[in-house]
């Protein structure tokens, strides 16, 4: 029990949204100060689903100087001491032949889906995932709400996911239904646990993770549950600060 945490033996990883910032908001000066102080006692990292540009919007232009480890896009883009150490992408991982096969199938499938309205942008191709929306992402808020209700009854997204899982079982993809109108597709293991490959085996005796969406289905769940981490659930930035004060005095 008298384990003394230090920068050598303890790594503390934080989720961004809801953990270091209020959802979609910018980090406060007080919280930045808290991270600076905490770094004197332990090694600090941040892991978030957003890309680097978005992470800098929330955590400030100096985000990579603020932490020891920076893991935008769950670590597909990985930084140590402000320097890039690894870059991975869906394009590199799957290759164009597989991506084309997948996209062609999705477009064919969507052309035959019967829903009250369709708009535009049915597939959004991102660095680490694809986002698929049967109604199309540029629908209005009203249309979005209507689709969500329709989908609850008719299970448009779930049925589509079940079909794609069978059809592309060879590609090792994970499908995650979230939000009102779409679902994400990404390789198995490309959740927040992806970043752990960079930090395990470096002599940390404890790797702590703090996140707010740690329930099953939440995007902090896998890393929270992972055997390599000690998981902590928080409700807001103030909660994060309080808990760290108790754990790393």
- Positions annotated as catalytic residues are 15, 17
Task: Give the tokens for residue 202.
Answer: 């470096």
Nearest to 54 by CA among 35, 30, 27, 31: 27
Nearest to 68 by CA among 128, 3, 4, 10: 10
What backbone torsions phi and psi does residue 111 show, to the nearest 5 degrees? -70, -20
Look at residue 108 and give its three-state secondary structure. helix
Exposed (0-12), middle (13-18) or buried (19+): which is 138, by Cβ within 10 Å?
A: exposed
- Alpha-carbon distance 221 to 14, whole Å? 13
Asked if residue 68 lies in contact with residue 8, where contact means CB atoms within 8 angstroms, the answer is no
Look at residue 25 and give its three-state secondary structure. coil
Look at residue 55 and give its three-state secondary structure. helix
What backbone torsions phi and psi does residue 94 show, to the nearest 5 degrees? -90, -30
Asked if residue 45 lies in contact with residue 11, where contact means CB atoms within 8 angstroms, the answer is yes
- Alpha-carbon distance 193 to 204, whole Å? 16
Task: Give the tokens for residue 225.
Answer: 């549950």
């Amino acid at each position: 029990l008298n384990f003394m945490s230090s920068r050598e033996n303890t790594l503390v990883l934080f989720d961004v949204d809801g953990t270091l910032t209020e959802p979609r908001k910018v980090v406060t000066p007080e919280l930045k100060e808290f991270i600076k102080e905490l770094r004197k006692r332990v090694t600090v990292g941040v892991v978030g689903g957003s890309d680097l540009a978005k992470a800098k919007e929330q955590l400030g232009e100096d985000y990579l100087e603020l932490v020891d480890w920076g893991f935008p896009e769950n670590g597909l883009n990985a930084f140590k001491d402000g320097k890039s150490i690894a870059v991975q992408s869906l394009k590199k991982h799957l290759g164009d032949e597989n991506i084309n096969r997948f996209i062609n199938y999705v477009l064919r499938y969507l052309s035959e889906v019967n829903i009250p309205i369709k708009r535009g942008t049915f597939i959004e191709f991102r660095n680490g995932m694809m986002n698929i929306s049967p109604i199309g992402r540029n629908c209005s808020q009203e249309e979005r709400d209507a689709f969500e209700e329709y989908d609850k009854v008719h299970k448009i997204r779930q049925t589509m996911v079940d079909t794609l899982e069978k059809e592309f079982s060879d590609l090792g993809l994970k499908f995650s239904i979230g939000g009102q109108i779409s679902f994400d597709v990404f390789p198995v293991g490309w959740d927040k646990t992806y970043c752990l490959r960079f930090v395990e085996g470096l002599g940390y005796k404890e790797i702590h993770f703090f996140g707010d969406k740690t329930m099953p289905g939440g995007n902090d769940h896998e890393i929270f549950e992972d055997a390599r981490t000690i998981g902590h659930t928080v409700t807001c930035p103030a909660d994060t600060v309080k808990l760290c004060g108790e754990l790393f005095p």
